[in-house]
Amino acid sequence: FKPDPEIFQETTVYDFDTLATRMRELAFLNRNIKLTIEDKREHKQKKEFHYEGGIKSYVEHLNRSKQPIHEEPVYVEGSKDGIQVEVSLQYNEGYTNNIYSFTNNIHTYEGGTHEVGFKTALTRVINDYGRKNSILKDADSNLTGEDVREGLTAIVSIEHPNPQFEGQTKTKLGNSEARTITESVFSEAFEKFLLENPNVARKIVEKGTMAARARVAAKKARELTRRKSALEVSSLPGKLADCSSKDPAISEIYIVEGDSAGGSAKQGRDRHFQAILPLKGKIINVEKARL
């Protein structure tokens, strides 16, 4: 392939590292092939990529600088109605998740139905296992999708005979059947894996429960901060011209009608103990007014 300079007007110069990264990705996604890239230009380079483990090796590569909570990545594969599904995942001690999805070797950066199916199955299967094995108690709420994906690295790769892409950059899979098939294939195999590997299963569920506790604690902390802020002077209406005194025994607040009256009142007040709050609309005398 040689680029046509009339079409590729910005550049026709190949970047070796960019191409090598793509070749490595393709070698991970297709475990039976060996790809070689050679640069015969001034700075001669050559790299060869072959991974017998396929996407399982891909997950290990992505987690190489992290601390996995289980040694071997989980690997699942299956097919239904002509759609081939491959999934590999491994949890680490981190707090972020990295999920990469592909359709026919195309990186679906924006996700899509196959990724949704995987996430749905992952959440359901982990919750079901946690309930059945009393890791999640009756009083505990179900783990959310965010809880079960904390510290997760996963590759979701499917082969579809007629993929339909959507999104602005056409990197989001839109086939509805891809969701149900990915969910079905993955959930069945992942359930079996958890049953056959109870130690790993417990670590995965407990990782999710810790994430849930942290989420609830963070929510309570945010609510407490907001409640405190609601009682602080700094959170009072923006047009309030507050007084400098903090002593409620001598402090006064004058509520005036409109910004113009507010401006005049501010000029004539004693800043030490008089606060001015301009309001729009006629002020009702609550002692006499009837609703």
Q: How far is CA 177 from each of CA 84, 145, 157, 204, 254, rounded to the nearest angstrom?
A: 12, 21, 15, 28, 65
Confidence category of residue 6, pLDDT binned at 50, 70, 90 = confident
Same domain for 78 and 184? yes
Q: Indicate the DSSP class of residue 10.
A: S
Number of domains forming the structure of the chain: 3
Same domain for 66 and 28? no
What does DSSP say about strands 98-103 and 83-91: parallel, antiparallel, or unpaired? unpaired
Same domain for 102 and 20? no
Same domain for 246 and 217? no
Taking residues 50-70, report their average pLDDT: 97
pLDDT score of 168 more than 80: no
Higher-confidence residue of 15 and 105: namely 105
Same domain for 156 and 130? yes
Domain hosting residue 244, numbered range: 237-279
In a domain, 202, yes or no: yes
pLDDT score of 245 more than 80: yes
- Tokens (6 digits) for 79: 């097919």
Total count of residues recorded for the chain = 291
In a domain, 288, yes or no: no
Q: Indicate the DSSP class of residue 50.
A: -
Same domain for 110 and 168? yes
Beta strands in 50-104 (DSSP E): 74-80, 83-91, 98-103
73 closest CA partner among 59, 93, 53: 59
In a domain, 12, yes or no: yes
In a domain, 60, yes or no: yes
The whole-number pLDDT of residue 236 equals: 59
- Of 105-119, 154-168, 273-287, the range with the lowest mean pLDDT is 273-287
Exposure string for 190-211, b = 16+ CB within 10 A, e = fewer: bbebbeeeeebbeebbebbbeb
Same domain for 137 and 8? no
Same domain for 221 and 123? yes
Whether the Cβ atoms of residue 212 and residue 143 lie closer than 8 Å to each other: yes
In a domain, 1, yes or no: yes
Same domain for 96 and 157? yes
Residue for token pair 């001598």 = 250
In a domain, 284, yes or no: no
Q: How many CB atoms lie within 10 A of CB 220?
A: 10
For 258, phi then psi, to 5°, come to 90, 160
Q: What is the pTM of this model?
A: 0.75
- When computed from its CA atoms, the radius of gyration of the chain, rounded to whole angstroms, is 30
Same domain for 169 and 216? yes
- Of 15-24, 109-118, 143-152, 272-281, the range with the lowest mean pLDDT is 272-281
Same domain for 17 and 127? no
In a domain, 289, yes or no: no
- Tokens (6 digits) for 100: 């990469």
Q: Report d(CA 154, CA 123) in Å as an integer.
A: 14
Same domain for 105 and 27? no
pLDDT, tens digit (0-9, with 9 covering 90-100), for 193-232: 999 999 999 999 999 999 999 999 999 888 888 776 655 5
CATH number, residue 108: 3.30.230.10
Whether the Cβ atoms of residue 19 and residue 37 lie closer than 8 Å to each other: yes
36 closest CA partner among 18, 21, 23: 23
Residue for token pair 């072959």 = 50
